[in-house]
């Protein structure tokens, strides 16, 4: 049989870890092939080797039966290999169209590229405005730019790293239709995802990596989630026990919050209102770019333009208060961008604890370094963070491990209110189960938890009540027992009536 791509004995050693250890992988033409593994299993390194961004220490690669050495992404693209990274590779100050143009050969003018983006976006249901500067786009919108850029090269092999983490259920269905169309036309797809249901629904073959080695190859359509989990992490993730809502007093209240967008490409917030009580998890669903960033900024204190009285914490007006005052009152915040906002990339984990934790800072600003060190080490141990110790730079961690550290830093602060965006984005099933379990433990201890997530499965698993955000507006609240994926998916397009939640509004 002739393979589109064949890897034999691929190995890659980094100073602290062997990322790939004699990996074999074969992908047929037109095959949708999943690569599964927990954070740090070596998936991303392997994909970067195929894409020419990283050079292997040993092993051979065959492309359409011919030996190749891919020295750069440009060479990979010339061969017909396209990749969509989980951590995006876009220039913030350029427009979406300019970013796409940079990744293509220069036979097309910028105007032609703009027109093609509109056409490809429409064909594949991936909404992209070619004129928008990338720094104004949310995480989900940036991902759509990356996917459109990859599709415009008409690839023979498309590598997708966590492509659905920021899409609605309906958009995921649409993307799957697109991928099946591409595969039917002979394009091979390497698909990395932590969502086992997706892999079983979409992929015909699955290679499982564990600790840099291939731990199994299966047809995912014949496997259960539990069987795939066992191959991946050696165990099934723990199940979260359901419990009855015992919400206490109102902790955080948003009342008629309307706010003009801070940037020309932001989203206006229109009359938002909800109450978050002690001892409950309130989930906010929605596709990225519908006002979630603006709401988070108003709640965290990054945007202090909110009308007086529109945001209150335990009855105290904090609409114009800074982040420091909010933290003093017990509100902690985890942003969706890990590097750059949740953590400073070049600083050590120990130094990064000082962004939001002040226990080791004495009067006059003196820092007790040994105490900072101990706090970071305790977080690494408690949240099972794989890192080279408290002195490791934040940027040296895999995305999932950095996420565990940042979430752990805020949970460990014993907040009274925790506002958290995308808690398990790009995190493997074991780490996701751990983070969700910690959030529920926090809730059971009486903390009020607000979770903004595009992972519907996650929201259904941990929320007591759900809201949906669309076009800068919030739906009525819905008890989780009455929520369905179809209904929430519809509401994510803005299709709700105030009456639908009127019966629950009074209880909210």
Domain identity same for 225 and 254: no
Domain end among 182, 201, 233: 233
87: which 2 tokens? 């951590």
Domain identity same for 197 and 305: no
As a dihedral over the C-alpha atoms of residue 471, residue 474, residue 478, residue 484, rounded to 10 degrees, the angle is 10
Residue 363 domain-assigned (yes or no): no
Distances (CA, A) of 5 to 31, 174, 195, 242, 422: 11, 26, 24, 45, 34
SS3 155: coil
Q: What pLDDT does residue 505 have?
A: 41
Q: What pLDDT does residue 166 have?
A: 64
Please give the tally of structural domains in the chain: 2
Residue 200 domain-assigned (yes or no): yes
Q: What pLDDT does residue 439 have?
A: 95
Q: What pLDDT does residue 499 have?
A: 58
Residue 296 domain-assigned (yes or no): yes
Residue 471 domain-assigned (yes or no): yes
Name, in order, each residue with C-beta under 8 angstroms of 328's C-beta and a sequence gap of 6 or more.
none
Domain identity same for 268 and 149: no
Domain end among 233, 261, 286: 233
Residue 404 domain-assigned (yes or no): no
Output the pTM of the full model.
Answer: 0.75
Q: How far is Cα 357 from Cα 281, in angstroms, rounded to an integer?
A: 23
Residue 407 domain-assigned (yes or no): no
Q: What pLDDT does residue 507 have?
A: 40
| Residues 144, 126 contacting (CB under 8 angstroms) | yes
Residue by residue, DSSP assigns 231-298 as: HHHSSPPPPPPP------SEEEEEEEEEE--SSTTS--EEEEEEEEETT-EEEEE--TTSSHHHHHHH
139: which 2 tokens? 């995480």
Residue 322 domain-assigned (yes or no): yes
| Residues 451, 281 contacting (CB under 8 angstroms) | yes
* Long-range Cβ pairs for the range 474-480 (8 Å, 24+): 474/272, 474/273, 474/274, 474/284, 475/500, 475/501, 476/500, 476/501, 476/502, 476/504, 476/505, 476/508, 477/274, 477/282, 477/501, 477/504, 477/505, 477/508, 478/504, 479/245, 479/504, 479/507, 480/283
Closest by CA position to 309, among listed 249, 269, 256, 251? 256
Residue 340 domain-assigned (yes or no): no
Domain identity same for 52 and 86: yes
Full domain range(s) for residue 55: 5-233
9: which 2 tokens? 């004995």
Q: What is the CATH number of the domain that holds 201?
A: 3.40.50.300
Domain identity same for 229 and 258: no
Domain identity same for 275 and 220: no
Domain identity same for 16 and 65: yes
Q: How far is Cα 418 from Cα 98, in angstroms, rounded to an integer?
A: 38
pLDDT averaged per 10 residues, the chain (length 508): 93 89 97 90 92 96 96 93 81 92 84 93 83 84 85 91 74 83 92 89 95 93 89 73 78 97 89 97 91 95 96 97 96 91 95 95 93 97 92 89 94 97 83 90 96 89 95 95 88 78 41
| Residues 12, 18 contacting (CB under 8 angstroms) | yes
Domain identity same for 139 and 103: yes
């Amino acid at each position: 049989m002739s393979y589109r791509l064949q890897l034999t004995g691929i190995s890659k050693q980094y100073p602290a870890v062997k990322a790939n250890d004699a990996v074999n992988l074969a992908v047929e033409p037109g095959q949708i092939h999943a690569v599964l593994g927990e954070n740090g299993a070596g998936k991303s390194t392997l994909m970067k080797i195929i894409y020419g961004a990283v050079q292997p220490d040993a092993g051979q690669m065959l492309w359409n039966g011919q030996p190749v050495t891919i020295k750069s992404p440009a060479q990979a693209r010339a061969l017909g290999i396209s990749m969509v990274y989980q951590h995006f590779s876009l220039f913030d100050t350029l427009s979406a169209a300019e970013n796409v143009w940079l990744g293509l050969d220069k036979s097309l003018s910028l105007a032609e590229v703009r027109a093609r983006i509109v056409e490809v976006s429409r064909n594949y249901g991936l909404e992209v405005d070619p004129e928008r500067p990338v720094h104004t786009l949310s995480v989900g919108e940036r991902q759509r730019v990356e996917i459109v850029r990859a599709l415009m090269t008409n690839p023979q092999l498309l590598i997708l790293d966590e492509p659905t983490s920021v899409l609605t259920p309906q958009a995921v269905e649409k993307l799957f239709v697109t991928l099946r169309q591409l595969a039917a036309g002979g394009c091979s797809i390497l698909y990395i995802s932590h969502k086992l249901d997706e892999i079983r629904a979409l992929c015909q073959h699955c290679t499982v990596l564990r600790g840099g080695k291939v731990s199994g190859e299966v047809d995912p359509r014949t496997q259960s989630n539990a069987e795939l989990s066992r191959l991946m992490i050696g165990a099934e993730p723990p199940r979260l026990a359901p419990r009855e809502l015992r919400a206490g007093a109102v902790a955080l209240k948003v009342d008629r919050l309307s706010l003009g967008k801070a940037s020309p490409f932001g989203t206006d917030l229109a009359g938002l209102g909800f109450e978050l009580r002690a001892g409950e998890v309130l989930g906010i669903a929605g596709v990225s770019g519908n006002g979630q960033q603006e709401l988070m900024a108003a709640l965290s204190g990054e945007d202090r333009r909110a009308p007086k009285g529109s945001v209150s914490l335990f009855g105290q007006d904090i609409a114009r208060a800074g982040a420091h005052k909010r933290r003093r009152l017990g509100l902690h915040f985890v942003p969706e961008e890990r590097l750059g906002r949740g953590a400073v990339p070049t600083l050590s984990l120990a130094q990064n604890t000082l962004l939001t934790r002040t226990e080791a800072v004495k009067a006059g600003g003196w820092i007790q370094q040994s105490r900072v060190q101990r706090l970071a080490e305790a977080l690494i141990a408690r949240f099972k963070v794989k890192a080279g110790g408290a002195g490791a730079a934040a940027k040296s961690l895999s995305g999932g491990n950095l996420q565990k550290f940042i979430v752990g830093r805020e949970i460990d602060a014993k907040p009274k209110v925790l506002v958290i965006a995308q808690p398990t984005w790009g995190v493997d099933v074991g780490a996701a189960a751990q983070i969700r379990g910690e959030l529920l433990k926090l809730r059971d201890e009486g903390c009020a938890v607000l979770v903004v997530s595009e992972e519907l499965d996650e929201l259904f698993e941990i929320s007591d009540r759900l809201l949906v955000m669309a076009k800068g507006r919030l739906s009525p609240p819905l008890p989780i027992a009455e929520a369905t994926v179809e209904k929430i998916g519809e509401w994510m397009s803005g299709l709700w009536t105030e009456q639908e939640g009127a019966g629950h509004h009074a209880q909210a």
